[in-house]
Amino acid sequence: MARRALVTGATGFVGRRLAAALADRGWEVRCLVRDRSRAQRLADRGFELHEADVLDARALRGAGAGVDVAYYLIHAMGRGTARSGFEERERRSARNFAEMAKREGVARDVYLGGLGDRPQSAHLRSRHRTAEILSALGPPLTYFRAGMIVGAGSESYRTLRYLVQRLPAMIGPAWLKTPTQAIAIDDVLAYLVAAPDVPASAGREIQIAGPEILSYGEMLDLMADALGVRRRLRLPVPLITPRLSSLWIGLVTPVDAGVARPLVEGLSTPTIVTDRSGAGLFDVHPMPFMDALRRALAEDRDLPAPAR
């Protein structure tokens, strides 16, 4: 019999690709969506839909019935600040989901969080707390931690692309020097899909990344190379705040300032792999950053550019 996976966040950048990748490998896929009317493409693909908000424990009932592995891909990026209580909502969501998965007999949970030790970003700290809750209250957890994910449609990739395309020169905040290890979306999917077949990954953290450590400034230079334009001049302005940086990004790129702010806050924390042992359990060999960029550019080459 085919195995069944539950994919949350299935209308998002990672979730919709993961659902398709699992189906291509013979899995039956159930997608957890907040609004069925916005998930028609998933229904057209033949995926089963379960409509529920993870904040509503009652609506979650039945989502995990007959499920072998549940993927938790939910976070509040761009949907709140500490002042508006997003951390408490994320904790409640994780608790509801973990308890549902355990009660309904799900064998494994898989969560995709972020890299970064002692992160200054409230959003990254909340992701770590989400993993702790899922691990403590739910089935055995495989906790993947990744930095920037590069692929057509990812907000980080879009920020890089449109900053380079639209500005002949740009301000250079201090976070442009922060080291990070980006990873291609195809490699993230390879890890996620393989997890149920790697028993040793249950109950542990898996740090995943591409082979190079680069600063965000170096990534901008490589994006210019991939686009075939000259590298952009950067004017150092080290004291610019994350709020001002996010407003600037929102002004010159299609990325909403509310989404840009947690992205910028995350860039103040080095996001590099500090423990390679977990990734060593998998037969995945992540591609270089430039290859990831080229794949992303090839995928969205024919899409209309967002309005300025």
Q: In 3D, which of 125, 38, 112, 109 has the Cα closest to residue 70?
A: 109
10 Å Cβ neighbour count for 230? 11
Between helices 257-267 and 155-166, what is the axis angle to 10°?
100
pLDDT in tens, the chain (308 residues): 789 999 999 999 999 999 999 999 999 999 999 999 989 999 999 999 999 999 999 999 999 999 999 999 998 655 444 445 778 899 999 999 999 999 999 999 999 999 987 666 777 888 889 999 999 999 999 999 999 999 998 888 988 898 898 888 887 777 788 899 999 999 999 999 999 999 999 999 999 999 999 999 999 999 999 999 999 988 877 767 767 777 777 777 777 766 777 777 777 788 999 999 999 999 999 999 999 999 999 998 755 444 43
- Give me the phi and psi of 204, to 5 degrees please: -150, 165
d(CA 126, CA 49): 27
Contact 133, 173 (CB under 8 A): no
Strands 4-8 and 149-150: unpaired
Q: Which residues pair with 234 in a beta bridge?
A: 170
Domains of the chain and CATH, by start: 4-146+183-208+272-286 (3.40.50.720)
Cα separation, 172 vs 162, in Å, equals 16
Nearest to 17 by CA among 34, 1, 41: 41
